[in-house]
Each structure stands twice: as structure tokens, then as C-alpha cells.
Chains A and B, each alone.
Chain A
């Protein structure tokens, strides 16, 4: 009797992937099938659809490796065109207890593909009886994004984690790029964050110093970039997995870094007599 794996199939296979060859019975191993619009001008249609739908984007995220592990920090603003659609977006996505992903670019694209990556990482654990490496996880994501290259996905993400080889950090984007590195910042506010991050970085910092550097870099980016703001979250990834170190409203951070000097009560400005 053939081993019955029908209970492992997700209902997603009923819609869209029906009739596809199941690879070892795991329908989720194949990338999801997307129905495409029937049109001669696919790119023009996508451009118009994106302009009409205005998916939420805009951001500052950063991550860097240092002596004790990895620091990951991000703001929490999402903008749809010029409208701030949310000030409380979770841009640091918890893929599993020892790996984090950051969100920059299209919010739905990042959320969906990180969720999908989390599923794949879990399947890898079940199939191989050990955790997936950061190298492997970032490659899985990069290959998927490469296969959708040119179709208008907007994803600029960093995969940060701690595996058998120690701390790992990769930058992956929707053009199909994948870079290993020790220091990255992604998003519309990244130039400002790089300025603070690069000048303050040392490899041997304590966890508190590193977290403060990440927090300050995000704060300065939110100060100068209109598409970044909200709450600056800072996570630390160490040998025991990730922990959230802080979440501070950036307007409160402003007054912490630049406190207003109290002045004596003075005469209100004199109105010029006509």
C-alpha cells in the first residue's frame, strides 16, 4: 500500500496548483502558482496596477554583525503614495526563533515571501532533522525572487540569524541579488542610516552599545526621511536565538538625543505698531 501523504496537503493546492505534479507529496515545495492577466502589455499593466493600487512601502531597516552577534533594527512606517497608511508595521519578521528577516519595499511582497520562507525553513527542518543555515534560507528566498524577476515585485530584505557557523547576514532583493556582508541598510532612509552606522561602527562593541548604534541610526533616518517613522525596534540575534531589545517612539528618541533647553519665560514678541 502506498504511503498516504494526502493529510499533509494544504488546501492551497485546491486552488491554483490543482493538477500539478506533486514533488514527493509536498505541494508547498513548489512555488505558489499565480494567475496572470491576459494582456499583450504585461509590463504596462503592472505599472498601471501598481500606481492604482498603491501598495504600502517606504522604510529604513538595517542590520550588522559584531562581536556578540547580529543587531537588526527598523522603523515602522508604511506609506501609500503620500499617505501614511500605518505607523505600526512590523518590519522585522520572525522567521523562526533564531532567524529574522527585514521588510523594505512592498509590504505585501515582503510579508508573503517571508511567511513562505518560514514554511520552507520548517519543512527543511522536518525533512533533514536539523535547522536550516542562514546561507540556505537566504538562497531559498533569493532563488524564488529571481524566478519572479521583472514582474514588479519590490522586496529589499536582510536575512539575519545564528547558525552552526556563527552569526550570518545576507541581503536579498527582488532583482535576484544576494550579498553576504557584515553591515547593511535598506530602504528610502538607508543613506541617512548608513551615515550614522558607518561612522559609529566597531566590531568589538557590547550588546548595549551596538543596540544604541542601531537605534540612533534608525532615529536619524526617520528624522530626515519622510517615508520613515513610527517606532524604532531593535532586535539582537545571539547563540540562543533572537530577542527584542527595545521599541521606542522616534519622537521621544528625538527629545532624548536633543533635549530642549528650558529658557526663562520671556516677553511675547512685540507686534510692530502700524
Chain B
């Protein structure tokens, strides 16, 4: 029997779920505030949502140390961009930057599952969803994280918009109003909390629209 040697394990899984919905003139991003490791809860009050630019936010679940590193790297790159171009990065530009940043660590990935929200060049809400190594796609709504498999089918049912690949094209933006979208988000998180051990405690909802950025909290089950 060979000797068991202590190995450095670079990754951990902190759980949590993120959801984002884009509307005609608003976007909503929400994440639970529970951070776990194994069966332990490390804290009930951890924000997974980060503001990258004036009208561009990112929510990430997975391994929070990698999430924090990724947030810092993107923040630094954005600062350099602002110095070089004298303006904030647009959301589509930030989406491409996040994809490249993730892919540059293709052989030692950031263990993060991200959604990016903001406004596109026309001022319509947009959501970009990523896998851990940087493949990304502009969508009308998305869920990532431990509760994503529980939440996505519900969002597909309530919000399913025609695929942007269809020709002739059909309008893909969800017809929901901002208040309806927030209600859907609260409902899906309540359901995900029931069946996912890593999701719960509190729900942080951030709404971006023409008036600016607004933050709401809703209680979730703490068990």
C-alpha cells in the first residue's frame, strides 16, 4: 500500500445560486447569500453580486476565492480601460473581456459560474451566461450554480423566448414587467431553497434600469 501523501487541493465548492433576467428596459440579477463548504455553512450573509461598470453587474457562484480573484482582475482591467479610453466599458465589451479572462486560465480554470447583466448598445437589457472556461452567450435569462438545474426549467416555462437563431427572427426580449420579473425571481429561489442544501438564508436582488441601480433583500429558509 503506497503512502497517502497530503496534496494541495486548489479548489473548493462554496455553493450558491445566481439568476438573471433581462427585460426591454431593465435587468434583474439575484443571488442567495449563503456560503458553504461541505456540509458546513460558513456565513449566511455573503454577496455574490459585483458591480463591474456603471450599468454592468456580475453574479458568480462556485468557488468564492476564485470569484473574488476574478472580480479583482476584471476591476483592474476595467480601470486600465477607463484610463486608456476615457469612458466606461460597455456591457458587450465587458462580456467579451470576461470570456477572454476566463479562457486565459483554460489550463487552471477559475472555478466560477457567472452571469453578467447590463444594457446592450440599444439600451435593452441583456444577460450573458458563461461556463467555467469562458464560452458565453447572450440570452434573455439564465441561472447558474448549485440550484440552476432546479430553476432553469421553471424559467424556461415562464419566460421562454424564441431562440435568437431562428430565421425569420422573432423578438427575444421577455415581455414581463420589472415587478413581474422580481416576483418570478423570488418564487424560483423559494423553490430552489426547498430542494438544494446549498441555497438559502437570504436573497439579494439587484435591479438595474434607467433610474439607476436598486438593491432589495428577501428572506429565504435558513435550514
Task: Give A4 Cβ to nearest chain B Cβ, in Å.
Answer: 16
Complex: A233 Cα to B138 Cα, angstroms: 17
Number of A-B contacts (CB under 8 A): 105
Q: How distant is B152 from chain A, measured CB to nearest CB, in Å?
A: 9
Number of B residues with CB within 8 Å of any CB on chain A: 32
**With A11-B81, A15-B104, A36-B107 in contact, do A86 and B167 touch (Cβ < 8 Å)?**
no
Q: Are B149 and A233 in contact (CB under 8 A)?
A: no
Nearest residue, chain A, Cβ from B160: A87
Within 8 A of A (CB), among B90-106: 99-100, 102-106
B165 and A56 form a contact (CB under 8 A): no
Q: Which residues of A contact B103 (CB under 8 A)?
A: 108, 112
Task: Return the contact of A11 from the options B84, B105, B132, B134 (Cβ within 8 A).
Answer: B84
A248 to B162, CA, bound (A): 11
Interface readout for A38-72 with B: 1 if CB under 8 Å, 0 if not?
00000000100100111110000000000000000
Q: Secondary structure at chain B's binding surface: helix, strand, loop or mixed?
A: loop
> A14 at interface (Cβ–Cβ under 8 A)?
yes
A80 interface residue per 8 A CB criterion:
yes
Asked if B210 is at the interface (CB within 8 A of a chain A CB), the reply is no
Task: Kindly supply a per-residue 1/0 record for chain A positions 217-233, scoring 1 wherever the CB is within 8 Å of any chain B CB and 0 otherwise.
Answer: 00000000000001101
Instruction: Tell me if B39 is interfacial: C-beta within 8 Å of chain A.
Output: no
A107-B165 contact in complex given A11-B84, A36-B107, A151-B107, C-beta closer than 8 Å? no
> Is the beta-carbon distance between A108 and B133 smaller than 8 angstroms?
yes
Q: In residues 214-257 of chain A, which contact B (Cβ within 8 Å)? A: 230-231, 233, 244-249
Q: Which of A78, A88, A231 has the most CB of B within 10 A?
A: A88
- Cα of A192 to Cα of B115 in the assembled complex, Å: 34
A to B CB contacts below 8 Å, 23 in the list: A14-B80, A15-B77, A15-B104, A34-B104, A34-B106, A49-B108, A53-B133, A54-B132, A76-B163, A78-B135, A86-B129, A86-B137, A86-B139, A87-B163, A106-B135, A107-B135, A108-B133, A111-B134, A112-B99, A153-B106, A230-B163, A230-B165, A231-B166
Interface residues of A (CB under 8 A from B): 11-12, 14-16, 32, 34-37, 46, 49, 52-56, 76, 78, 80, 83, 85-90, 106-112, 151-153, 230-231, 233, 244-249
